[in-house]
Structure 1
Amino acid sequence: MTSHAFRASILHYLDDPRLQGESAREYFEDGLLLIENGRIAALGPYSDLIKTLDSHITVEDYSGHLIMPGFIDLHTHYPQTEMIAAYGRQLLEWLNTYTFPTERKFADKDYAKAIATFFVDELLRNGTTTAMVFGTVHKQSVDALFEVAQAQDMRLLAGKVMMDRNAPDFLTDTAQSAYDDSAELIERWHEKGRLHYAVTPRFAPTSTPEQLQKAGQLLQDYPGVYLQSHLAENRDELAWVATLFPNARDYLDAYEQFGLLGPKSIYAHGIHLSEHACQRLADSGTVLAHCPTSNLFLGSGLFDMERMHAQGVRFAIGTDVGAGTSFSMFQTLGDAYKIQQLQSVSLAPDQSFYLATLGGARALSLETHLGNFLPGKEADFVVINLKSTPLMAFRTGTCQTLNEVLFVLSMLGDDRLIEATYILGSKAYQREN
């Protein structure tokens, strides 16, 4: 048995702060986290827990730093890494101008492997230890990503894009080939180590009803796989869906009629939804991925958290790189706060960091594996340097409460805050000072 311990200020969430207030979190100003064989063995005050450790156990001293569970990114596109911050389009034109030409390159497995390596390194550098990721239409793009993630022992979810219309010929498949390629990838990768497969129709306008039916068939034929797609991001997109699916009662129904809702179905955005659609999402347990930096960048609209809470819709946070403008969960949470402010709601810092950790794990139905530091869970965590920049050191030094510190992190933070990232208790990233 390999055992090691970490001393720092330690914060994690046991429940949703909206429901339990500050009792939803557990915080040790001087804490000790004990890891055994890559899993959480114990957590408590340093002064108490240190007395129980065997003398051979090494203690890594991060005093003055903050340890939290690794961040969970509910929605991102690794092939769009190289086109992050591409100028000046809204969604549909942006896809045609930037996204599709970029994704063409992923027919080359070596190219895909190089971008996947950079992408995973960026996740780790930003403290993200679990992500749900789009590949491209090419199955080798998913092989490349899973190979890189597996080498890091990351818990990662991904899938091959299904797209058989309204896209360039060099990026389209067919309903049957999408099924066959996805099935092959599922059998090769799903639940191999810490990897999960997600059936991935890009969004309703780029899939025929026949292809969406095949996506539903995959969910039936391979119980336990996930589904990821996009929903109600842009008003022009809504109008387009209405013409393409004239028999659907709304955008959501374009998926619903093919059996694509459920607790393991994650749809990015969900901005422009009717009350009835929200209720159907809630009743089915379907999850939304709120992507604030992307929604602002593309001018898509404002996600209404209060409405989702009121109707019982499950959601957490995604970066949506490359329409999203940062890999950093701190910057993503900062924009989430601003979006709620524009709707006269102040997003509490506890709620933000819950959504990025335990809330994300619950959204992915992975809370038995990760999301906090309960004994037996996988030891994915980040070490946050509260003095990472002169401004951060100055500003956190003036804070009187933990809530103030957390809010400052979400407003001023970026990748420089991450001192180290650990996967299963082993260091996967160390900041170079």
Structure 2
Amino acid sequence: MSDSPSLGFDTLQIHAGAQPDPATGARQTPIYQTTAYAFRDADHAAALFNLEEVGYIYSRLTNPTVAVLQERIATLEGGAGAVCCSSGHAAQIMALFPLMGPGRNVVASTRLYGGTITQFSQTIKRFGWSAKFVDFDDPEAVKAAIDEDTRAVFCESIANPGGYITDLDAISAVTDAAGLPLIVDNTLATPYLCRPFDHGATLVVHSATKYLTGNGTVTGGCVVDSGKFDWSASDRFPSLSAPEPAYHGLKFHEALGPMAFTFHSIAIGLRDLGMTMNPQGAHYTLMGIETLSLRMQRHVENAVKVASWLEADPRVEFVTYAGLPSSPYHDRVKSICPKGAGGLFTFAVKGGYDACVKLVDAVELFSHVANLGDTRSLIIHSASTTHRQLTPEQQTAAGAAPNLVRLSIGIEDAHDLIADLDQALARATA
């Protein structure tokens, strides 16, 4: 079946990248649980290793089950190609790896998942990279933070944990003028709610662990390339524009055009970093994506109902959900996420930190876990868990202040979710 862009999202989420198995006729994509693949002959092996022919060599690099998932996500995002890896954090490193080098920096939003802030502020220093954190509600501040050593700009389409919507059009205007790639973490929106490439993004990353899989069973990540960035326009990205010694001087962008970033991420990124997605994990994620649109619709519907109820409750100070008319990000929903503001947000509990902790301990239907995007509704106090490693100032800037509780709204009956929060709030604020 053709993965034509004219096909609807609901069709592509089921069919893109997949064909009946040629060996058995199996209609569902098989789990190719194999390490290596037999070559036809010596010439075939040499062609594969020289990147002269596309095929399977070793499952650290490519695997047929993972390949279907890569094509499906790339198709749904409207990208040229994709590379799946072992986690969302791995995807972020994979996205930066071909772009960065010692002394280079990435300009990143202050509103990011706490683990991403730690990865960017601490861990990447070991590579000689650095990050500058800026309020992305101020495009001029983003512009001012860019210097001659900046190699990428990074943000989330819907920011974790507050559910804030980033003005991708404004930020991409800044990156275009600077000749830099814009990397957008689209985990919370998924391509059903937002397609960052339509707003000028260069690369999209996902934690496939979350909404794409949707059932809390596996970890996984993905990097999608728009295929539109000119990596050879300057000498800033030698990994993609200059001769590659490991491939006899091959210039990836010159030779592979729109697929340069994708092939580099496989041939060098996965080869040397080894952050590979396993085929069974890819299978679970493929199963999840088949119902992505249906689940996202329900996540959004439930989030609106729960957030509206919380906003009207006197035990709650405020709710950050962008789907509420009171949100300063409400107008952006129409342009950036026209099908809804997602299923994640925070709310402030009167009584502060102590009341938040009591609330988390009092829920019965919500699950207290460090995850999001599950079919089940989830709750966590970010300041004492996912954002605990940050300073109080960083927590507040990230939208994870001590008086806030984060909700990931699932697809249960909204009335049951509200009832659970009602009894938990009563116990937490008594």
- TM-score normalized by structure 1? 0.27
Task: Say which structure is richer in strand.
Answer: 1
Q: Normalized against structure 2, the TM-score is what?
A: 0.27
